[in-house]
Structure 1
Amino acid sequence: MKRVLTIDDVEFAIKGGSVYACGGGGWADHGRMLGTAAVNAGQPELVTMDEVEDDAWIATAAAIGAPAGTTQWQMLGMDYVKAAQLLQDRLGAPLYGLMIGQNGKSSTLNAWLPSAVMGLKVIDAVGDLRAHPTGDMGAIGMANSPEPMIQTAVGGNRANNSYLELVVEGATAKVSPVLRTASDMSGGFIASCRNPLRASYVRQHAALGGISKALSLGEAITDAESKGGQAVIDAICAETKGVILLRGKVTKKAVSYTNEAFDIGTISVDTGGACSTLYVMNEYMAVDGANGERLATYPEVITTLDANGHPLSVHEVFEGMEVFVLHVPKLNILLSSSVVDPAVYPPVEATLGIKLAEFVL
């Protein structure tokens, strides 16, 4: 079904996307800027893959960087448009639509403005239902492919002379780190458009309906807000089929920004005499219990909430505050080819020093 996205949908996307952000996934204000600009610039239209011809070109609109608030980034709405235009020019063929690499506070809205300005469709498909740290994790199975892919990046802090535009082409695993380096050089957060693929491939490998999932969750949150924080938390659990895995006080936060544009570290939560550990690589990637037992692992949804049911980004979590940790098991979420691709896990495992793939695959 087609759905013209409205200003109400902007808020639904931010609220639902904030849960699927899993501690990362951009900024609510940035998402609000993108969405508001999109619905004022045109009529961005969300379409399902059932409506798309097999040979249509679909690319992924994304943002790259570490949104924990520790860098001087600047990204304007037109940077997303420019990134899509550069990719289309390099492709030498018209794009039909844009999907997104992941949901998040702003990530859910990454395709809206370039689609509205360029007359493209917003494709109801995601590379990963939840947010993730590396581009490969949203590359719908292309991470280990030798096939050359086009990737573009646009943006940067103008006052610091850090604005960049680049177009790169090559195997996804080789060119994705180039864009992450560009993100760091631009100020830590940059717009991108990448991996143009035929709709027949997207239909088989993406998590279809991923944007609608975020919108529905946002509507459920909105309906519950007048009833108080516990009602919001209950609504989130009901809509996602998730549970509150932990509730406790943050006793230690050790998260640092790296020049690869990652926020990396751990957050410790005391649940009453026992301390669990949340592993951060931009997003929450795993939770270990007090005895080192694994309680949750990417691509499962792991999200910190406050008592009002507000999803907390990593930069909003502080020592001494009480948090609720939401867990949505992988049996209850849409999975794309990205998250069952063994090639995407070794770099993240090496960075965090923990095992992930054996719990997923």
Structure 2
Amino acid sequence: MGRILTEKDVEAAVKGGSVYAAGGGGWADHGRMLGYAAVSIGRPELVSIEELGDDDWVATAAAIGAPASTTPWEMQGVDYVKAVQLLQEALGEQVSGLIVGQNGKSSTLNGWLPSAILGTKVVDAVGDIRAHPTGDMGAIGMAGSPEQMIQTAVGGNRSENRYIELVVRGATAKVSPILRTAADQSGGFIASCRNPLRASYVRRNAALGGISLALSLGEAIIAAEAKGASAVIDAIVKATSGAILKEGVVTRKSVVYTKEAFDVGTVTVGSDDTAMTLHIMNEYMAVDDAAGTRLATFPDVITTLSTEGEPLSVGQLREGMPIFILHVPKTVIPLSAGVKDPAVYPPVEKALGIRIADYALAD
């Protein structure tokens, strides 16, 4: 049976989603805004994919951009709802449920407001358990497909006349960059609804149970908070089946915002022969040791935590800051077709100048 999402679920979704945000994944306050708005005006419902009919339409509710930078972004809850409405108009049929492309500080809650207002179900499935830089990585295997898809984008900074509504049709890999450009033009962050697919396809290709994973992790974090920071970190490690890769100080941060609306660069933690380097494209994509040996690679979960156990985004990191690096290997999380799709890796490898596909696609 479905689960009605309530006020107590909002903080759990934000906190659990923030760990899976892997250094990216939006803004916690934006997630709270979406969640509290949804539970106060309606009854958003979380359902498993099994509760939908094979031919029901399921689309992805997403937010696109890299708003960790100093861009003038503005996104309102109504933008997520309008994006779904535009997609339904273009499709000519109702969308029964929404998945999200990834967990994150706000993205875990992307489907809640449309569920409260339009009645679309929040489907307990994600395009990727963790956050990732490109829409294609959360496209559950559609990135290399020639099939015509519908993608919509809504939002923007109203006072600067940057508000955009966009409906585009085409092969996923060709239209995804158009939405990223729209995000940049709108101020750096835009709401999207895209890739309506039959529930039977989603069942076979998404990472099932991804929203529940974030909620249960968040509940474990909240339960540990009264016991202090080390209890929170222990709870995160236990709930994710992960491990702390390193505890150290940020010694170097070199990250730039690109015209493609990505934050790209590296962060070094520790010094000399114990240093580790985090490779960043919006999120943490890989970790190398001082000798250049790879220790963790996407789609592993890689997250930085403060000494208080708070998940830190790339934008929050400062040189001199003590942090923990959490690593959850891909073997202990559900993996979607999107992260097993060879088509998604070349642009990321090119931006970072490192190899990712060898590891990501290996069994």
TM-score, length of structure 2 as denominator length: 0.98
Query: Given residue 295 of structure 2, which amino acid in structure 1 is its aligned partner?
Result: L
Report the alpha carbon displacement of residue 115 of structure 1 after superposing the two structures with TM: 1.4
Query: Given residue 236 of structure 1, which amino acid in structure 2 is its aligned partner?
Result: I
Report the alpha carbon displacement of residue 271 of structure 1 after superposing the two structures with TM: 5.7
Is 1:124–1:210's contact at 8 Å kept on the other side of the alignment? yes
Corresponding residue of 2:34: 34
Report the alpha carbon displacement of residue 116 of structure 1 after superposing the two structures with TM: 1.0
Corresponding residue of 1:59: 59
Corresponding residue of 2:14: 14
Is 2:133–2:283's contact at 8 Å kept on the other side of the alignment? yes
1:238 maps to 2:250: no
TM-score, length of structure 1 as denominator length: 0.99
Corresponding residue of 1:124: 124
**Aligned pairs (5 A) from 1:109-188:** 109-188=109-188
Helix, strand or coil: the match of 1:230?
A: helix
CA deviation string 1:23-68 (max 9, x = no partner)? 0000000000000110011100000011111000000000000031
1:266 maps to 2:266: yes
CA distance in 1: counterparts of 2:272 and 2:257, whole angstroms: 30
1:341 maps to 2:341: yes
CA distance in 2: counterparts of 1:360 and 1:48, whole angstroms: 27
Report the alpha carbon displacement of residue 249 of structure 1 after superposing the two structures with TM: 0.6
Corresponding residue of 2:79: 79
Corresponding residue of 2:99: 99
Helix, strand or coil: the match of 1:296?
A: strand
Is 2:23–2:283's contact at 8 Å kept on the other side of the alignment? yes
CA deviation string 1:312-353 (max 9, x = no partner)? 011111000001000000111110000000000000000000
Is 2:59–2:99's contact at 8 Å kept on the other side of the alignment? yes
CA deviation string 1:61-116 (max 9, x = no partner)? 00000031321100000000000000000000011011110000000000000111
CA deviation string 1:163-217 (max 9, x = no partner)? 1000000000000000000000000000000000000000000001000000000
Unaligned runs of 5+ in 1: none
CA distance in 1: counterparts of 2:110 and 2:33, whole angstroms: 11
1:294 maps to 2:294: yes
Q: Which runs of 4+ in 1 moved over 2 A?
A: 271-274
CA distance in 1: counterparts of 2:3 and 2:23, whole angstroms: 28
Report the alpha carbon displacement of residue 258 of structure 1 after superposing the two structures with TM: 1.2
CA distance in 1: counterparts of 2:77 and 2:330, whole angstroms: 33
Percent identity for Structure 1 against Structure 2: 70
**Aligned pairs (5 A) from 1:205-244:** 205-244=205-244
Is 1:22–1:303's contact at 8 Å kept on the other side of the alignment? yes
CA deviation string 1:247-306 (max 9, x = no partner)? 111011111111111111110111675221101100000001100000000000000001
CA distance in 1: counterparts of 2:157 and 2:295, whole angstroms: 39
CA distance in 2: counterparts of 1:348 and 1:156, whole angstroms: 26
Q: 1:215 to 1:271 in 2, by over 3 A?
A: farther
Query: Given residue 318 of structure 2, which amino acid in structure 1 is its aligned partner?
Result: F
Corresponding residue of 1:249: 249
Query: Given residue 267 of structure 1, which amino acid in structure 2 is its aligned partner?
Result: V
Length, aligned pairs only: 361
> What value does the CA root-mean-square deviation take over the aligned residues?
0.8
CA distance in 2: counterparts of 1:87 and 1:41, whole angstroms: 22
CA distance in 2: counterparts of 1:70 and 1:314, whole angstroms: 13
1:358 maps to 2:358: yes
